[in-house]
Structure 1
Amino acid sequence: MTEEVYFIGVDVGSGSVRAALVDNKGHVLKASVKEIQTWRPQTDYYEQSSKDIWECCVTVIKSVVTNTNPASIRGIGFDATCSLVALDKGGNPISVGTNNNDQNIIMWMDHRAGAEADLINKTNHDILKYVGGKVSLEMEMPKLLWLKKHLPNKWKDFGYFFDLPDFLTWKATGSTSRSLCSLVCKWNYECSLEGKQGWNTSFLSDIGLEDLATNNFEKIGNKVLMPGEFCGGLTVEVANSLGLKPGTPVATSIIDAHAGGLGMIGTCGQGIDKDMSSRLGLICGTSTCHMAVNKNPVQVQGVWGPYYSAMVPSMWLNEAGQSASGMLLEHIISSHPAGIELLKTMTSGDIRSHLRNQLSDMAKQAGYNDVSLLTKDVHVWPDFHGNRSPLADPSMRGMISGLSINNSLANLSVLYLATLQALSYGTRHIIDALVLSGYQPFKSMLICGGITKDPLFVQIQADAVGLPILKPHEKDSVLVGSAILGACASQYFSNVQEAIEKMGGTADVIRPNLGTKAYHDKKYAVFLKMFQDQLKYKTIMGSNI
């Protein structure tokens, strides 16, 4: 009789916690989801609660292991958004702005630390070359500096700062170890081309955070492990709360987008090159992350990285992205009069299906063989929440050309389509930057995440970029990625690469419609002109009003 072998993947996204029971072939057998709470105390501020998130983790894990032999659960992997968790010296939540200590997380998409990011970038410290030349206000050092500057009386009370993925492994095991993935990607932890690894004390001193070096960097971590490395076993208390065995191996964590990349990168598609460096991974949710790996380090202006072993061991990662993708599509729908009416009776997914049907009907009526042609006179620049890559400019804002006095469903449908196209041209813009800086032209893209449930979004990405897309048959690539880490921590596989190959699965291949290439080339030219025009507007208006 074949022995049952399972792994648990836990994913903390922007709006929910998910857990999955995954077998040794990467198949999700059972999944559970629970929404988490987010506070918005003011514009561009986003806060969450580590207490709320951990309670949700316990709930969803218990749900997926019900009626499963605890002995068959070989390992657990956690991923989460790259959000900043603050704890006091006793390990309890401490607020990051309000008097409510439950609100102790500054979310990844919180943009309060713009001035602090500017201050850090003005140092021109050498370590900034590993973040495309500019630290992002979404990263942790600007947020830590914000806390020190704006909450000076509370600064001394902070005992520990964790990236959210590392907080989860600490709660599960009691280990204060940190993941190289989180630290090198979001904390300006040094992992240099020359092989140097550690906190850069001159950088911390230059930006006014030299006190974080106290007690061997106790507040921000002094034991750093590779993603998937064993970081500890479940404590007795946690194991009992989950219905699992104490000591069940827990893997060193990974950021959620990187988990998606890990879960997809070994996917096989008919006629598609398996070379990891020939593939660009897109993890599309609230935001979109674009993941590229290379055997050699490539520095790309405006793109984060190169990060050594941050996703795939012994490979260099470049991470680009769009700060608002799914969030932008929701905004386009919810802010349009026709969308407001639809939301009264339909879910978001039903609305998108309704819009696709509307677009199909409109294209037929116009005599077009492709719906994309409907946006000839409507163009969108999608940076409603700033530009992450490749401009690395959080002050960029969204633009729409072609508005009219029209609040019909047809008008919303075309605007929605133009926004899908804009996000796809953003991917093309990122690819151009990567190739210009030294990447070989990509041969395919991999795609996962919530908004990829819209087949029109996936097809337009392929058409706009001109590359085939692999969409994994296993829909929850992020959860598979976390489960891969759990498998590695249990030593069921000999290394991460083997786990990727054995659990990567297969994919559908969505090929570009070459008949629309000339049209998308023209639209892309307009897209590039729009950001150049926005920069001109800023110059005309100047900085002093």
Structure 2
Amino acid sequence: MTVNAYFIGVDVGTGSVRAALVSDKGKILKVSVKNICTWNPQKDYYEQSSEDIWSSCVACIKEVVSGINLERVKGIGFDATCSLVVLDNNGNPLSVSPTGNNEQNVILWMDHRASEEAEKINKLQHSVLQYVGGKISLEMETPKLLWLKTHLKNECWDKMGLCFDLPDFLTWKATGSESRSLCSLVCKWTYEAHSNGNMGWNRSYFTVVGLEDLLENNSKKIGSQILSPGVSVGNGLSENSAKELGLKPGTPVGTSLIDAHAGGLGLIGCSANGIDSDFHTRLGLICGTSTCHMAVSPTPVFAPGIWGPYFSAMIPGMWLSEGGQSATGKLIDRIIDSHPASAAIKTKLGDLHIQHYLSNLLEELAKKRNVKHIDFLTRNLHVWPDFHGNRSPVADPNLRGAICGLTLTVDEENLALLYLATVQAVSYGTRHILETLTNSGYSNISSILICGGLSKNPLFIQTQADVVNLPVICPEETESVLLGSAILGACAANYFSDIKTAIKSMGGHGKVVWPNMDVVEFHNKKYKVFLRMLEDQLKYREIMNC
């Protein structure tokens, strides 16, 4: 394969940093991975270190560019989780932790400490909340900032010089520019952007919630220069960062994206035979620790419990709606790892992943019980999957997981059934989000695209297709998030005429998994149980609060 240009994509996920060397045709040629540290000092608190994250980025980038002609590296793009990074007036890490350790200066996206602050903000019913599904999430940045001001005013708030969404921190480290991404600010910081060109911080919102001091000095602490995703940041790599990374100074750096949005960018241009390729007909699932659901529309669609609509947050000129499940991959791991049979299974796996082992066991179990499809094995076993609260469409962080149909059996077949019921429940969560989007105005969604860790699980993919009764497209290039970041680098280098051309040119081709019509009606019934489990849990809460 002839490569005319290389682009680097860097993805900072919840547990690791990954960097990829990507060709101008969208082929990932080399990947490097390095784990990052997370602290959990108390319940619902999750913290990281910006210095640890950056040093991991450096190590991964240096590895993927080793041995290549640096003249052919035309651009670099970054994505990361929507975590809050706090720095002092000198740009050094400033603790966000009750421990006072400055190394712990990042509040991770999944940190739920700001529940009271989110409730306070939501009671105000400010107009900006219409762009986050009617309720702000405690995973977003203004509740977390309000928590810092309330609980660590002397230790952190009064010493704060800059605060970034993690993707913007990375471009700052790379270039020295304090610019911010429209994606991060619109999606997680309540920055307002409209199709008529009006955009800016909503002063009345920051005043009423008690964060008006963040708008002082032309909003320097939180951002005054706002750029669209893929726009070149500053003057490219600074001398210092280029030396660190082993790249040429001035190498273009694209304005960043949140990791899920980078996955959406990498997914949405994937072509598949017989499937409509128009952006607004597709729902992208970016599956990892959690799952994000990305849909774009030429006009704004307001859906209850769904974040957005966000103008130009992922694709210029289109409105983005973002649903999500707070725990999916992490939930499946939790179900498996906490089961008594798991330890014995792991001793005999060899190179086989435990989820594939359980999928094989389900096939054997279906034959043994003379069941036509493995789906039917969970007829009397049902899971409500919100072990870490509901992000969409209920938007209730206080919901909790539930399992109906437990027995005293603890063998590996029992684990396999729980695993299957959990995979189905996660898929019903997607259907719940999709139905909310459809009922709110997304009438043209005709396919699902999927990437991330769970996209490597055939059972999960087939279950998604069966539950929503739509074809699922699996890109041949499986690392869509890294591809999305590389597309940002290509855009910064002006390698393509515009970002939409870059998406289609680098998006590649995918395999289609069609729904199995023999099980659609079964899942329709189980989905009714799924919704009833939500009603029941809310009823239990009502009874206990009487």
Which one-letter code corresponds to 2:147 in the other structure?
W
SS, match of residue 4 in structure 2? coil
Find the partner of 2:180 among 174, 178, 181. 178
Going from structure 1 to structure 2, the CA distance change for 1:345 and 1:235 (only over 3 Å counts) comes to farther
Q: Which residue of 2 aligns with 1:200?
A: 202
Alignment of 1:512-523 (within 5 A): 512-523=515-526
Partner of 2:89: 89
The aligned residue for residue 209 of structure 1 is 211
The aligned runs of 1:476-515 (5 Å cut-off) are: 476-515=479-518
The answer as to whether partners of 1:384 and 1:396 remain within 8 angstroms in 2 is yes
Query: 2:8 matched to which residue of 1?
Result: 8
Please report the TM-score for the alignment, with normalisation by the length of structure 2.
0.98
C-alpha distance after superposition, 1:147-189 (max 9, x if no partner): 0000121211011110000000000000000000000000000
Contact 2:3–2:24 (Cα < 8 Å) also in 1:
no
Structure 2 stretches of 5 or more lacking a match? none
Q: How does 1:120-139 map to 2 (within 5 A)?
A: 120-139=121-140
| Secondary structure, counterpart of 2:417 in structure 1 | helix
Confirm whether residue 426 of structure 1 aligns to residue 429 of structure 2: yes
Shift of 1:489: 0.1
Q: Partners of 1:532 and 1:468 in 2: how far apart?
A: 29
Query: Is 1:39–1:48's contact at 8 Å kept on the other side of the alignment?
Result: yes
CA drift of 1:452 comes to 1.3
State the partner residue of 2:277: 274
Query: Identity, % of aligned pairs?
Result: 60
The SS at the match of 1:152 is coil
Partner of 1:58: 58
Q: Secondary structure at the match of 1:138?
A: coil
**SS at 1:136's partner residue?**
coil
**1:43 Cα offset (Å):** 1.1
Please report how far the alpha carbon of residue 347 of structure 1 lies from its aligned counterpart in structure 2 after TM superposition.
Answer: 8.1
CA distance in 1, matches of 2:195, 2:113: 32
Structure 1 CA distance, aligned partners of 2:330 and 2:357? Answer: 19
Partner of 2:447: 444
CA RMSD, Structure 1 to Structure 2 (Å):
1.3
Measured in 2, the distance between the counterparts of 1:212 and 1:347 equals 53
* Residues 269, 508 of structure 1: 8 Å contact kept: yes
Q: 1:404-461, CA deviations, whole angstroms, 9 ceiling, x for partnerless residues?
A: 1011100000000000000001011001100111111411000000111111000000
| Cα 1:368–1:82 shift into 2, 3 Å | same
Q: Is the contact made by 1:193 and 1:297 (CA closer than 8 Å) also made in structure 2?
A: no
Q: Work out the CA distance in 1 between the residues paired with 2:188 and 2:352.
A: 32
Structure-2 change in CA distance of 1:298 and 1:414 (3 Å): same
1:156 counterpart residue number = 158
Q: Distance in 1 between matches of 2:343 and 2:427?
A: 25
Find the partner of 1:317 among 315, 320, 345.
320
Change (3 A) 1:521 1:503: same
The whole-number CA distance in structure 1 between the counterparts of 2:277 and 2:495 is 23
How many Å apart are 1:191 and its aligned residue?
1.2
* Residue aligning to 2:342: 339
The separation in 1 between residues aligned to 2:326 and 2:86, in whole angstroms, is 23
Give 1:371 shift: 0.8
Instruction: Assess if the C-alpha contact under 8 Å between 2:195 and 2:317 holds in 1.
Output: no
Deviation at 1:349, TM superposition (A): 6.3
Residue range with higher mean Cα deviation, 195-204 or 343-352: 343-352
Aligned counterparts of 2:272 and 2:280: Cα–Cα separation in 1: 15
CA distance in 1, matches of 2:33, 2:193: 35
1:251 alignment partner in structure 2: 254
After TM superposition, give the deviation of residue 41 of structure 1 in Å. 0.5
User: Do the aligned partners of 1:79 and 1:482 also contact (CA within 8 Å) in 2?
Assistant: yes
Deviation at 1:78, TM superposition (A): 0.1
Quote the offset at 1:241 in angstroms: 1.6
- Following TM superposition, by how much is the alpha carbon of 1:339 offset from its aligned partner in structure 2, in angstroms? 1.6
Given that residues 334 and 343 in structure 1 are in contact (C-alpha distance below 8 angstroms), is that contact kept between their aligned partners in structure 2? Answer: no
User: Distance in 1 between the 2:515 and 2:78 partners?
Assistant: 35
2:111 equivalent in structure 1: 110
- Number of corresponding residues: 543
